Chain A
Amino acid sequence: MKKLLSAILTLCLLCACAQCEPGSEGETLLDRVLRLVPDAAGLVRMSGDDLYDLIGIDPESCVDWVYLAAADALEGRELIVVLMPDAESADEAETLLDHYLEARMRETRNYLPDAYQALSEASVVRQGCLLILSVAAPEADEAALLLAEE
């Protein structure tokens, strides 16, 4: 009886530890971003309409998505993370993100030099069906940090 109770207790402890491990199942992209990105909590959570209207990615077509941006639009700080359901839709999303980056560079080139500099140093990073566009991040390897969880 004591051995049975010990075994059950050990099992319960192991299950509890599994829930606390980083990258556990059930964690959304937003959870991951809030956990790993230092300034995420202070950024504006852009809506699904923003994702669609500004970038062209329909949020309904995503498995999950996060779109954060600085409250001051002149700052240029943005973080877009999208998880698409398959390679084909990930290809389309990657193209849209590339075009979005090009459009932002075009509009800031002779207008907002700091934002332009940050945008010119940014690129769309992809791993499988997960895409990340990180601009003006406080951590230089922000995208890599988020991808390391995959």
Chain B
Amino acid sequence: MKRLLALLLVLISLAPCAVAERLPDEVLLTYYDDSIFFGDSITQGFRRYVSNRQQTDPGFMSGVEIVCTASISLYEGSRRGLQTNRFRYRGQDRTLYQITQQIRPQKVFILLGLNDPVGIQIEKAMGWIRDIMRGMDELCPGVEVYFFSMTPVTPGYCSQKNRPRYQEQVDEYNARLIMVCTDMGAHYVDIATPLKDENGYLAYDYSSDKICHLSDEGAAVWVQALCDYAQEQYDLGLWVPGQNNAGPELTPSTATDLDGATPSDLPSVLTLDPNY
């Protein structure tokens, strides 16, 4: 009897640790349907990778809009007016907020900071992150905002830029980003850790230029990190594949631009806003 009770106790204690089913990658990637990925040259490489995969698999990440400008910084991306480096969508210069208003996604994912660079100005970067959250709350309410971790760099980047501690600074930035995301109601997606080698730098095999940009192998790791994140959401009961979550309704009263115009009224090129 005692042995039976002991066995029952062991079984009960193990139950929560039972491995949840691992969903297929094509199901996990539907987590990102109706999303926008905003980024810089790193995301440009990812977009090219996606386009390449879509040649043989047209459905691969087909629910994601990827909007990127090679040289755009986190600062410029966070502004409500157009800056020198700006996003461009369907032939029009647009801010991150305007594009979000235009597309009306459920989720927005952001990977910016390489061009600032955020590692050497972490406090300012946190301020820009908060600016993005405030901008999204005001201009695109209801859209879930996700920040990707800054991707790692190689030792070659650190020496080329004469920033020997830069990878440590990127790690500090990511640690602070997690805190700000929690504080501001955003989500943090770690794509940095799986890209690192045993020394904590961007693995050379994952880098196209052996500096900071990703190769196809690196992009594949990014995709796998997306799958892992989606699996985590499923395991936590926060997401059910195939469940139709209607996107936010952006009514004219809630979706206003800086000057009150609705997206369709916006001129093709907006004047720069030097004071923002």
Contact = CB atoms under 8 A, between A and B. Distances in A.
Given A47-B54, A53-B65, A111 B71 contact: yes
Interface string B63-80: 001010111100000000
Interface stretch (A3-11, A26-34, A99-107, A123-131): A99-107
Interface in A46-65: 46-47, 50, 52-57
A53 B90 contact: yes
Contact of A112 (B49, B70, B216): B70
A73 B66 CA distance: 14
A111 B41 contact: yes
B7 to A, nearest CB: 57
Interface in B54-96: 54-55, 58, 65, 67, 69-72, 84-85, 88-93
B28 to A, nearest CB: 22
B124 interface: no
B51 interface: yes
Contacts of B54: 47
Interface string B41-57: 10011011101101100
A40 interface: no
B45 A52 contact: no
B91 A44 contact: no
Interface residues of A, number: 28
A137 interface: no
Name which of A47, A57, A72, A96 has the most chain B CB atoms within 10 A of its CB.
Answer: A72
A15 interface: no
B91 to A, nearest CB: 2
A146 interface: no
A50 B70 contact: no
A44 B55 contact: yes
Given A74-B208, A111-B70, 11 more contacts: A44-B52, A56-B90, A69-B51, A73-B45, A74-B41, A74-B213, A99-B91, A103-B88, A107-B71, A107-B72, A108-B71
B25 interface: no
Contacts of B92: 56
Number of chain B interface residues as a range: 20 to 34
Contacts of A100: 91
Given A107-B69, A111-B70, A71 B89 contact: no
Contacts of B44: 73
Contacts of A50: 51
B149 to A, nearest CB: 21
Nearest to B90: A56
Contacts of B41: 73-74, 111-112
B178 to A, nearest CB: 29
Contact of A47 (B51, B88, B216): B51
Contacts of B45: 72-74
| 5 residue pairs, one from A and one from B, having the closest CB atoms | A56-B91, A111-B71, A73-B44, A73-B48, A107-B70
A99 B115 CA distance: 23
B172 interface: no
Contacts of B49: 71
B138 interface: no
Contacts of B65: 53
24 contacts: A44-B48, A44-B52, A45-B51, A45-B55, A47-B54, A47-B58, A50-B51, A53-B89, A69-B48, A71-B52, A71-B216, A73-B41, A73-B47, A73-B70, A74-B208, A74-B209, A74-B213, A100-B91, A106-B85, A107-B85, A108-B70, A109-B71, A111-B115, A112-B70
